[in-house]
Amino acid sequence: MTHPMLESASRAPARTRARLAATALAATTLAAAAVVAAVTTPASAASGLGQLAAAQGRYFGTALANNHLGESAYATVADREFNSVTPENEMKWDATEPSRGSFNYTGGDAIVSHAQGHGQSVRGHTLVWHSQLPSWVSNGGFNAATLTSVMQNHISNVAGHYKGKLYAWDVVNEAFNDDGTRRQSVFQTTIGDSYIATAFQAARAADPTAKLYYNDYNIEGINAKSTAVYNMVKAFKQQGVPIDGVGLQTHLILGQVPSDLQANLQRFADLGVDVALTEVDVRMQTPADSSKLATQSANYAALTKACLNVARCVGITVWGVTDKYSWVPDVFPGYGAPLLFDDSYNAKPAYTGVSGALGGGTSSPSPSASPSSSPSSSPTSSPPPGRSCSATYRKVNEWNTGFQAEVTVTNTGSSSMGGWTVSWAFPNGQKITQLWNGTLSQSGANVTVKNVSYNGTVTPNGSTTFGFTGDWSGANGTPSSVTCAAS
Ligand code: G3I
């Protein structure tokens, strides 16, 4: 897999978009609200992807930035779709302890307050990281004992401040290099290997109920880096170092979901820790087009399914609400469009990739829909009790630029269904030219087929079939996720 060069994040040119005025306003307003209720387990959201994930015993979250919460579309989508949030920058060391012993919780408190008001759990991010680390720490010239005490004091104060209010903490972030050696951060070079265990012990002491995570990128597949993390977690479990989870950031490049993602999640889970996809985005060379968006949808569906297939994969967090504010173009010029909502807050094919994989429908929410939007237009509507179906896609024939395929709809419920809707996203821009035994609508990569009058009624275990011909070019991949909704 191409190396994402994430280290360059800390050297990125300053973002040109204005962030600061809104930050100050949102922070002042929201920090005033008292932070009361403890959130120690993933909350259930009112709607959207969060609700679909909750039905699977998972959460679906987003990175949230205070400076955008004043934008109504941003807040509307964040609160409608996600039942977990991670402060994108507000709980990092440079924000919380900008000078020694002087703590500032304004931004973090605002996020926690907002989350509590919207039924969202919070993943704290992050206590010990080489980046966004104030120079009084990185260039302080401390000896091992003093830097250990500086780190313990930071953890004790910050995790202590949020005690009982967070679902989890990313205690240590990005401590390994891609070759599996330790990153030469100031903590590593001054304290040595032991700093990570020390950080986890301090975090447990400060907040006994938060799940304590090690978090990193490029550990999604089985490779030298993920194996180094695996060995550390295994040792921690043997030594009694308090670690509860491993966060796989999952900053991916289009078309490069590791084929062994699920196996890798499972091997971590088998050590006795939870796993989570903590900062998901799938970047592409911009501008986006329908083919890239379809591939991105398939990639999101695949990573969602990998998580669902691992019992201890507790949830997925995407690294931002909208492409408009993603960190990606700042750090990888020429790349972008990595998230589920575009610059105008329209749901992208990737959204339906996720919602389909989570077992929901594949309709998109309207851009302005509020969290209490009508279930009939939301991807979360549920079938009548006892009614459910599945659909399987089979390519029957393929030639030059055309192909024929068949989809079998099976009633998997306990009662007869009176109608069905099957949906998928084509991964390679295929276009249906003619369809029989169903009513077709296709928008870009997204296909929806409903029954016609004579084949809507299907008895339990019974099935019916529709077929179509289509055009393809370049590649003619099978949709990674075909969903069926019974009515
Ligand atoms: O706070 C300053 C402000 O004072 C300054 O005036 C302004 C100028 O543009 O910049 C502000 O800081 C920016 C900060 O985001 C807050 O907006 C930094 O320049 C910018 O580099 C920083 O980027 C963040 C990046 O971490 C820093 O490494 C991104 O928003 C954030 O998405 C990103 O998140 C990281 C995760 O924490 C860890 N994993 C990788 C992921 C992506 O890099």
Residues 198-218: tens digit of each pLDDT:
999 999 999 999 999 999 999
Q: What is the CA radius of gyration of the chain?
A: 23
Asked if 406 contacts 466 with a C-beta cutoff of 8 angstroms, the reply is: yes
Give me ligand 1 centre to Cα 481, in Å: 34
**Which residues form ligand 1's pocket by a CB distance below 6 Å?**
6, 9-10, 12, 14-15, 19-20, 88-89, 131-132, 173, 249, 279, 327
Helix or strand run (H / E) with residue 277: strand 274-285
Distance, CA of 465 to CA of 410 (rounded, Å): 9
Using a cut of 0.75, tell me whether the model's pTM lies above it.
Answer: no
pLDDT for the residue numbered 290: 97
Specify the pLDDT at position 41. 37
Q: Per-residue pLDDT tens for 311-337?
A: 999 999 999 999 999 999 999 999 999
What is the number of the ligand 1 atom nearest to the C-alpha of 14?
9
Structural domains of the chain in order of their starting residue, each with its CATH number: 6-372 (3.20.20.80), 389-486 (2.60.40.290)
> Is 406 marked active-site?
no
Q: Which of 97, 174, 220, 398 is catalytic?
A: 174
The ligand 1 atom at the shortest distance from the C-alpha of residue 6 is 43
**Catalytic residue (one of 81, 88, 90, 279):** 279
Tokens linked to 327: 């960190």
Q: What is the pLDDT of residue 161?
A: 98
The secondary element (H helix, E strand) that includes residue 331 is: helix 328-331
Q: Pick the atom of ligand 1 nearest to 173's CA.
A: 38
What is the Cα–Cα distance from 79 to 232, expressed in whole angstroms? 36
Q: Whose CA is nearest to atom 20 of ligand 1?
A: 14
* Nearest alpha carbon to residue 339 among 145, 135, 81, 95: 81
Using the mean position of ligand 1's atoms as its centre, give its distance from the Cα of residue 89 in Å.
Answer: 6
Is 174 among the catalytic positions? yes
Distance 279 CA to ligand 1 centre (A): 14
Pairing of strands 168-173, 211-216: parallel
Which residue puts its alpha carbon closest to atom 29 of ligand 1?
327
Instruction: Please identify, by atom number, the ligand 1 atom nearest to the C-alpha of residue 19.
Output: 17
Which residues are CB-contacts of 222 (< 8 A; sequence separation ≥ 6)? 258, 260, 263, 264, 267
Our measurement of the distance from residue 79's CA atom to the centroid of its chain's CA atoms, rounded to an integer in Å, reads 15
Extended beta strands in 308-453, E state: 313-318, 335-336, 389-399, 402-411, 420-425, 431-436, 439-443, 446-450
- Of 7, 10, 19, the residue with max ligand 1 atoms within 8 A of its CB, to mutate for a pocket test, comes to 19
Q: Distance, CA 307 to ligand 1 centroid (Å)?
A: 27
Q: Choose which residue among 104, 127, 132 to substitute to test ligand 1 binding: the one with the highest number of ligand atoms within 8 A of its C-beta.
A: 132
Please name which of 142, 138, 230, 136 lies closest in space to residue 184, comparing C-alpha atoms: 138
Residue of 8, 15, 219, 318 to mutate, ligand 1, most atoms within 8 A of C-beta? 15
Question: Distance of CA 194 to CAs 129, 182, 187, Å?
Answer: 15, 11, 9
Atom 15 (ligand 1) nearest CA:
89
Dihedral sign, Cα of residue 130, residue 127, residue 309, residue 395: negative
Question: For ligand 1, what atom is nearest to the CA of residue 92?
Answer: 37
**Ligand 1 centroid to residue 16 C-alpha, Å:** 12
Atom nearest to 15 CA in ligand 1: 9
> What pLDDT does residue 373 have?
34
Ligand 1 midpoint to CA 385 (Å): 47
Cβ count near 213 (within 10 Å) = 28
Q: Which segments within 45-105 are labelled E, that is strand?
A: 59-64, 84-87
Residues of the chain with pLDDT under 70: 1-46, 367-368, 370-384
CA of 197 relative to ligand 1 center, distance in Å: 27
